[in-house]
Amino acid sequence: MFPLTATIVLAALAPIALAAPYVPKGGLGTNSTPPVYHPLSDFDVQSLSLALYQEYIELDLFHYGLAKFSTDEFDAANITAEDRFLLEFMADQEVGHANLITNILGPDSAPKQCNYSYPFETVRDFIDFSQKLTRFGESGVYGFLEHLDSRASANLLLESIATEGRQQMIFRQFEGLFPMPVYFIPGITQSMAWTLLAPYIVSCPENNTVLAWQNFPGLNITNNPNASTLMSDNYAAITHNRSTPLSQPGNTLNLTWEAPGKNVGPNNMYNTSTNAGEGKYVAWISQLNTTYTNLTVLSNNTGSTIQPDESFINGTMFVMITDDNPVITPFNVSMLNDHIVAGPALYQSG
């Protein structure tokens, strides 16, 4: 793996042409121009607005969960008083993140907090939902951060999303899962993140920023592995060697998906759509890779696929139905958007 070592050592000894003492040539935004922490394009405004929609739902979600369940219910799920303080602190972090992005966008044009609807009735399901929501919150930003025109804004957003990654891992620990069964965190496109987020937003203030991103038709893994049912060997802890994985290669995923043209999102003002043809594959975005499995179509909008035998398929990942299997790498995930028939949905392994 390291045949380059000798070359690197020799290069290090050779004189390096410097821009100034101790300043190697190259780099961007490293001169004395004062940074401007504002969007520089519609792409920036729309990406940052999406991130703000995400921060606001997290803020609401953590408060909602803390208020909805009693102390007894939390205790019964082994979420202690100190754990609950950590949850409260996470909500405070979201206030900070929402303020940050609001200031980048400008308070007049930044979207405001909305009303939400959540699919859980128990503490375990609240924690599981939070684990998944923070996964697409984090991955949704990694998908566009490197494409922003405003590198200064990207700097600030990165420093907030680093916190979000920690939250996601803590939710896995609250669930009793292995905290991070991956080497790399995947990035997804804005349209993928918005597809996952929009169904939980019921209504927003009048004039809230309308997002330009696409809402793909919904995808449901009807037999999705469910971490909240695995209580006995899954009490909250820094880590567990899980005796049985949530899922493993060879598992069948049963899938149902919606036809396009459904109204979704705040005030039902968005409409699902697809640019793709007939579904042929299931795309799996996990760690650095996008890989594909064959889709077996059972009837209209119902089918199945098999979890591939790849070690990078682990943790909470993104699966979607596609009409083709183009080669995708982390810097060009957006090339997949036009091939999405439905999804993404979140799939749990590890």
Ligand X SMILES: *[C@@H]1O[C@H](CO)[C@@H](O)[C@H](O)[C@H]1NC(C)=O
Which 8-state DSSP code applies to residue 224? -
Measured from the CB atom, the residue of 30 and 229 that comes closer to ligand X is 229
Q: Among residues 273, 323, 326, 334, which is the contact residue for ligand X, using CB under 6 A?
A: 273
What is d(CA 190, CA 54) in angstroms, rounded to the nearest whole number? 11
Q: Which amino acid is at 344?
A: P
Residue showing the smallest CB distance to ligand X in the complex: 181
DSSP-assigned letters across all residues of 34-66: PP--S--SHHHHHHHHHHHHHHHHHHHHHHHHH
Residues between 172 and 231 that touch ligand X (CB under 6 A): 178, 181, 203-207, 220, 222, 226, 228-229, 231
Q: Are 127 and 83 in contact (CB under 8 A)?
A: no
What is d(CA 161, CA 96) in angstroms, rounded to the nearest whole number? 11
Omega before 344 within 30 of 0, i.e. cis: yes
260 touches ligand X by CB under 6 A: yes
Q: Which two tokens stand for residue 203?
A: 């209504």
Measured from the CB atom, the residue of 30 and 252 that comes closer to ligand X is 252
304 touches ligand X by CB under 6 A: yes
275 touches ligand X by CB under 6 A: no
* # binding residues, ligand X (CB under 6 A): 44
Q: Among residues 63, 147, 312, 323, which is the contact residue for ligand X, using CB under 6 A?
A: 312
Under 8 Å CB-to-CB from 320, ≥6 apart: which residues? Answer: 192, 216, 219, 282, 283, 285, 336, 340, 341, 342, 343, 344, 345
**In angstroms, what is the minimal distance from the CB of 226 to ligand X?**
4
Span interacting with ligand X, options 21-29, 84-92, 189-197, 255-263, rule CB under 6 A: 255-263
What is d(CA 25, CA 16) in angstroms, rounded to the nearest whole number? 9
Measured from the CB atom, the residue of 31 and 299 that comes closer to ligand X is 299
H runs (alpha helix) in the chain: 5-13, 42-68, 71-76, 81-105, 123-142, 151-175, 190-197
Q: Among residues 311, 324, 331, 332, which is the contact residue for ligand X, using CB under 6 A?
A: 311
Residues between 16 and 75 that touch ligand X (CB under 6 A): none
- Contacts with ligand X by CB under 6 A lie at 78, 114-115, 125, 178, 181, 203-207, 220, 222, 226, 228-229, 231, 235, 241, 245, 248-249, 252, 254, 260-261, 263, 271, 273, 288-289, 291, 294, 296, 298-300, 304, 310-314, 350
